[in-house]
Amino acid sequence: MTFKKVLAIETSCDDTSVAVVGANGQVFSVVSADQDLQHQPFGGVVPEIASRNHTLQILPLVDQCLKSCGMGFSDIDGIAVTSRPGLVGSLIVGVVSAKTLAWNYNLPVVGVNHLEGHLLAPFLRDESHQPPHDFDFPFVGLAVSGGHTQLYLVKGVGEYEVLGKTLDDAAGEAFDKFAKLVGLGFPGGVAVDRMASTGDASKFQFPRALKNDGTLNYSFSGLKTSAQNVIQKLPESQLEQMLPDLCASYQEAIVEALMHKLNLAVEQQGVKRAIVTGGVSANSRLRKAVQDWAKQNGIQTVIPPLRYCTDNAAMIGYAGILRLNRGEASGQDLIPSPRSYEGDFQVGVSR
């Protein structure tokens, strides 16, 4: 059979999201609930709080999602759900909900790798957004969020090669740790971005780790220590005044590192297409740097709209429907996994 529409569920971290997606990437509806307020007092995602909130939010969101596109389960051909990687307690809520709905409505279910979702997000379309009609495989994909910072060569559906990854913190984590350090709250990426807009990025020198190591890996854990040292030396009265410069300099260090290896990956692979996705791609400095780089180097680059960059069920639905149409349904024995499966990604085959 051909799958025309799937209901998709994403609960891998702290966003609960449900979508209805078509086989050509058409998003009929996507509704999400974040939990930022609940995790804010702890300065980071608390897994137990995340899974409890998913439990409360998931079924109302399924109802809301179907209502908002005027559909019912009779219009749906299958169910896609993020089954890996992620927080296991969070994934369990999505997987159990998906399997229960699938069993109840006699629909096939497919488990999707969250990162595959991010990598296919540039093909999503809706009433107000169409991807460039000539965008296609292969392309270099930079997935950059609070949980991940990875470079891939995306050769086709199901053909993903890991080119490089962070050896320690994700770029979003580096933003969040810095924000916490200077009292900008959680998650702090947006606040740092805003504060940086009036700052001078050349005021402080933060390290660009692994710049000339010849790999496509990243490292961001030294940045926070370096920022901590700079801040300790500043008289307290100056911190507030220097904050925009600190934010701009710190942000520049992250953006420059991201761009350097993205450029290297494109050069090494000899492809002229790239995508940047994940929550950090909301960063205004990074978006500008990517656009300038794409223009200067003639690289066709897609940064999906923010609603498809941050964690969302639409990208899971698209990956899921492609998998279902290839005959890759999962069955009721699907279980969540904190890690990707071994076969999900190839490592370094073309280098």
Residue at 121: amino acid letter: A
Q: Which of 140, 142, 165 is nearest to 154 (CA)?
A: 140
Footprint on residues 311-330 left by ligand KG4 (CB under 6 A): 311
Q: Which is nearer to ligand KG4, 146 or 304 (CB)?
A: 146
Q: Which of 78, 121, 311, 312 binds Zn ion (CB under 5 A)?
A: 311
| Longest Cα separation, the chain | 68
Q: Which is nearer to ligand KG4, 164 or 172 (CB)?
A: 172
Window contacting Zn ion (CB under 5 A); options: 163-171, 184-192, 205-213, 306-314: 306-314
Alpha helices (H) along the chain: 36-39, 47-68, 88-104, 114-120, 171-181, 189-196, 221-233, 236-269, 284-297, 306-309, 313-325
150, 48 Cβ separation under 8 angstroms: no
The answer to whether residue 145 forms part of the interface with Zn ion (CB under 5 A) is yes
Dihedrals phi, psi of 30, to nearest 5 degrees = -145, 125
Cα separation, 299 vs 262, in Å, equals 11
Binding mask 43-82 for ligand KG4 (x = CB under 6 A): ----------------------------------------
The answer to whether residue 23 forms part of the interface with ligand KG4 (CB under 6 A) is no
The answer to whether residue 164 forms part of the interface with ligand KG4 (CB under 6 A) is no
Window contacting ligand KG4 (CB under 6 A); options: 91-99, 182-190, 237-245, 292-300: 182-190
What does 245 bind: Zn ion, ligand KG4, none (CB cut-off 5 to 8 Å by kind)? Answer: none
125, 24 Cβ separation under 8 angstroms: yes
Cα separation, 286 vs 232, in Å, equals 28
Q: Which residues bind ligand KG4 (CB under 6 A)?
A: 13, 145-147, 172, 175-176, 187-190, 193, 278-280, 282-283, 310-311
